[in-house]
Chain A
Amino acid sequence: MNAIMVNSLGKKFKLFTSPGGRFLEYMSIGKVKRHTDFWALKDISFDIPTGTTLGILGQNGSGKSTLLSILAGVLYPSAGSFEIKGKVSAILELGSGFHPEFSGRDNVYMYGSIMGLSKQEIDKRFDEIVLFSELGDFINQPLRTYSSGMIVRLAFSVAVHVDADILIVDEALAVGDAIFQHRCFRKIREMQAAGKTILYVGHDTDAVRNLCTSALLLDGGRIIERGDPNYVINKYYALIADRERAYIEGNLIEHGDIPTEGYETVYNFIQNLNAAKIVSPPAIPVHEQTIEVNSTPRKVIFAHAPSEITYSVTIGTGSSLAFSIGIMPGAWDKIPQGVKFDIDILSDGIAKSIFSRVLQPKRNIGDRGWHNFLVPLKPFSGKTVSIIFRTSGSGDDLSYGWSAWGWGKIVKIEENPPTKEIKKTISENTLSDVFSSGEERFGNKRGEITHIELMDENLNRTNCFNSGDIAIVRIHFVLHEDSLENLTIGCTLKNKYCDIYGTNTKWQRLDLRNKKRDRHYIVEFSQSLKINSGTYSINAGLVIVHSNTEIEVLDRRYDCLIFRVEKRDPMVGIIDLESAVKEIQI
C-alpha cells in the first residue's frame, strides 16, 4: 500500500515584471498576457509505500520546497494529482505556524489544534513534548525570547508527537545542536519502526544515507534519478561537481582574442543600450550585466531568446564589428538545441545577414565559453544603418537559455597598426579540454602545461572516485625551448584547507632530459586515493630546479582540476590509515 502517490505533478508560477501586469491580466479576463510561465515542477511521479522513508535531494531551486509545499497542502498543483493516505505533520520551516508573542505552551496547544488534536489529547502529550524539547520552564515564556535552536526543538517535538501517519521534514534538523539532532534521529527511527511514512528533504546527504530507504534527485523541477540512497547521493555529488565545473569553465574559456591594440572604439553597444530598440520576453528584459571572464569583470548584454536589439549607427571607413557571444553555464544542460545568434544589417531598406552562429554548449564542448568575433563592415562604409542583434531558440522555458552578447563595439583600425603581434595566450582546443577551474596560473612560459587529465584505472575520464580507487593524473606539456635541464613536473592533491599529498618527477627519479621544443609530452601520476569523502583539487607544476633553494617556475597551475571522493565506511580526518583493530585477550 502506498501512503503517498504522486502522479505527473506540475507546478507553474506566473512571473510578472510588475504588479501592474498582474492587475491588467485580471481585469482583462485573459485577453492580455503580461506574464511568463515558469515551471518549478514538471512531470513528477512517485509512490511512497507506507512505512518507508524517502529522501529528496536537490540543489537550491530544484523544486524541493515547492514539492513539499504541495504535498503539505499549502500550494496547489497546476498539473497532475497526488493522493495522501493519513494525517500529515509537516515541519516546513523554522518556527512556522508559531506566534512570537505567545508562550511555548500556548503555541503547542495552537499547533496541536491546527493538527486536529483536541485539548484533552494535547494535555496527554504535553509533558512528553516539553521533555523532548528540553525547554523546561521556558515553555511558559513568549516565543520571541527563544533562541532559534529552542524554536526548532519545540517545533520538532510538537510535530513528532501529534500522531501523524506521515511526517514531512524539510531541513529542520540541521539547526538543533548535536545532542538534539541525535535525539531527533532516534525519534525518527522509532517512528520508522512504528510503520510511519517519512519524507525527508534537504542537502544533508549523511541524513539521507542513514535514514532513508530510497531517494529521489530533483533538478530543474524534474526527477533525474531515483533509487537506492547511496546511488542517488553519488549522482547528486556528480551533479554538483558538474555544475561547479560548468560554472568555472564558463568563466574561464574564451575563444579568440578581443581586438585591443591597433583598434580604436568608435561605438560601444553596451553604453548605447538605452538608445536601442528592444524586443524581448517580458519576464527577462534585455539588460546589461557584469560577468567575470578570467577573473576580469566584463560587461555583457543579456538577451534571453527570443530577443532583438536594434541600433541605428553611421559606419565610418575602416570599421569593423567586434563582439562576443556566449551562453551562461547554468543553462547548458537545459538547451540541447542551443541558441542561434544572428546579426543583420539593414541598409537602404535591404537587410543583409552578416553573422549567424548557433551555440550548442551541451552537445559541443567547443561551444562553451565566450566566442569573440571581428566582422568587417566595409560594404556599409559611410552609410547610416540599423544593426540588429537577434537571439532565437526554444525560449519557452525561461529558467534556461541565458544567452548574451559580450562587449560589443564598432572599432576602427588605425592607419599604421603597430607591428606588435597580439599575443595569443593559449590555443583554443586545449583550454576547452580542461576539466574545471577556479584556476590560478603563473610562470614564465618557457614551457607550458597544456592540459591535465584525470582518469580512473581504466583510463576513463572522471571526477568522481570511491575512496581507495586508483586515480591517474596525466599532465600534458610542451616546451618552447630545446634541452631544458633539470626539468621537473609536480603534482599535488589538496583539499580546501591544505595539501594532502604531493610528489614530483625528481623525487620519483623520472628523468626528463633531452626534450625537444614544440613537441607534446605526457607525464602520468598514478595514485591510490585512500582518503576520506570530500572535494579535492589538483595542483600541477612545470619547473626547473636549479638548486634546492632556486626554482624557476615555467608553468604552475593551481586548482586546475576538481574531483570528488566518496567513502562508505565512516572515519574522521583526511587520510585513511587503514587501521586494524582487535581486542587483546589478557
Chain B
Amino acid sequence: MTSIFEYRGLIWNFIKRDISSKYVGSLLGLYWSVINPIITLIVYIIVFGVFLKVRIPGSTSIWDFALYFAAGFLPWLAFQDSVMRASRSIIDNKNYIKKVPFPSEIFPIYITLSEFVNLFIGLGIYLILFLILKGMPTIFILILPVAIILQLVFTLSLAFFLSSGAVYFRDIPTMLGPLFMIWFWATPIAYTMNLIPVNFQWIVKLNPAYYMVEIYRDALFYGKLPEINILVPFLIFSVVLFVISIWFFRKTKTGFGELL
C-alpha cells in the first residue's frame, strides 16, 4: 500500500483526467450525474409514495418518505455506479497495464474515487431537498464523513475483487447489471424494514448494503447516532473485506499482462 501512496500524484492526475473527460464541455455528463438521479428519485417517489402509499413508521407525510428514500438511494446509486465502472477498470486500461510498468491497483482506485463525485452530487441534491422540506439538519450530520469513508472502503474492496476477476472472467461486468438490480430490491431502500415479514428480516441483516444505507439515513434523515450493532459490524466487515480484496488483487495481478 505504501507504493500506492507514492503514486498519489498520478492517481490525482488520472482522476482529473477522468472527471474532465466526463464533465468538462459535456452537457450530457452533467445530465447523467445530476438530472438523471433527480428524475429517478421523482419516479420512485411517485410510484412508492403516491401510488403504493409507502410511509415510514411514525409518519404519514409523503415528504418524510421521499427524504428517507433519497437518503438511501443517492448513496446506493453512487455505490452501484462506482462498482460497475471499477469492474471494467483493468480491462479498459489494458493499454497502460500491458505497456507501462506501474502498480495496476491504481485503476480501480482512481475509478472509484472519480465516481465518488457522483456521491457528492447526490448528497448535494439531498441537502438541498432537506433544507427546503425540513430546514437545518441536526449536529449528527457530522457522522456523514464516517459514512462516506466506510462506503469508500466497501466500494474499493468490491472494485479490487471484480476488476481483477473480470480479467479472468470477462462476463463479470455484464453480469453486474442484473445482480445490482436484485441487490437493490433486496435492500430496504425504496421500502422500510417493517414491511418485511419478521421471519425474513434476518436475511436483510446479512446484507452489507443495508448497514451502509442505514448509517447514511441516520446521519442524513433521522439525525441521530447510528446504532452500535449497525456501525461496528459494518466497520469490521468492510475492513476485513478490504484486506482480503487487496491480497486477492495482488495474487491475481501477475496474470494481467498476458491475459489482457
A497 at the A/B interface (Cβ < 8 Å)?
A: no
Q: Are A97 and B6 in contact (CB under 8 A)?
A: no
Q: Return the contact of A90 from the options B101, B254, B255 (Cβ within 8 A).
A: B101
Neighbour of B101 across the interface among A19, A73, A101, A109, CB < 8 A: A73
A63-86 to B contact mask, C-beta < 8 Å, 1/0: 000000100111110000000000
* Segment from B9-17, B40-48, B217-225 that makes contact with A: B9-17
Contact B254 A74 (CB under 8 A): no
Contact A69–B9 (Cβ < 8 Å): no
Q: C-beta contact mask, B104-136 vs A, less than 8 Å → 1, else 0?
A: 000000000000000000000000000000000
Does B168 contact A26, Cβ atoms closer than 8 Å? Answer: yes
In the complex, are the beta carbons of A74 and B95 less than 8 A apart?
no
Whether A13 contacts B258 by the Cβ 8 Å rule is: yes
A residues less than 8 Å from B257 (CB atoms): 69, 74-76
When the two chains form the complex, which single residue of B13, B21, B254, B258 contacts A110, counting CB atoms closer than 8 Å? B13
B13 touches A97 (CB 8 A): no
Is B96 part of the binding interface, using a Cβ–Cβ cutoff of 8 Å? yes
**In the assembly, what is the distance between CA of A109 and CA of B98, in Å?**
20
Instruction: Find out whether the CB atom of B21 lies under 8 angstroms from the CB atom of A97.
Output: no
Give A119 to B168 CA distance when docked, in angstroms.
36
Say whether, besides A96-B95, A99-B17, A101-B21, A72 and B101 are in contact (CB < 8 Å): yes
Contact across chains for A75 and B9 when beta carbons are under 8 A apart? no
At the interface, yes or no: B97 with Cβ under 8 Å from chain A? yes
Contact B254 A76 (CB under 8 A): yes
Min distance, Cβ A433 to any Cβ of chain B, angstroms: 44
| Most A-side CB within 10 Å, residue of B7, B13, B97 | B13
Are B17 and A97 in contact (CB-based, < 8 A)? no
Q: In the complex, are the beta carbons of B101 and A74 less than 8 A apart?
A: yes
**B255 to chain A: which residues have CB within 8 Å?**
76
Name the one of B17, B21, B99 contacting A96, with C-beta atoms under 8 angstroms: B99
> What residues of chain B lie closer than 8 Å to A109, measured between beta carbons?
13
* A183-232 contacts to B (CB < 8 Å): none
- B168 surroundings in chain A (CB, below 8 A): 22, 26
Distance (whole angstroms) from the CB of A41 to the closest CB of chain B:
12
Hey, what's the 0/1 contact readout for B157-178 against A, CB within 8 Å counting as 1? 0000000000011100000000
- CB-CB under 8 A for A75 and B6, given A23-B169, A96-B100, A101-B21: no
- In the complex, the answer to whether B9 meets A118 with C-beta atoms within 8 Å is yes
Contacts of A118 in B (CB 8 A): 9
Residues in B neighbouring A69, C-beta threshold 8 A: 98, 257
Q: In the complex the two chains form, what is the Cα distance from A348 to B93 in whole Å?
A: 62
Task: Indicate if A102 sits at the interface (CB-CB under 8 A).
Answer: yes
B10 touches A97 (CB 8 A): no
Q: How far is the CA of A113 from the CA of B254 in the complex (A)?
A: 23
**Measuring CB to CB, which residues of chain A are less than 8 angstroms from any residue of chain B?**
13, 19, 22-23, 26, 69, 72-76, 88, 90, 92-93, 96-97, 99, 101-102, 106, 109-110, 113-114, 116, 118-119
Binding site for A on B (CB under 8 A): 6-7, 9-10, 13-14, 17, 21, 95-102, 168-170, 254-255, 257-258
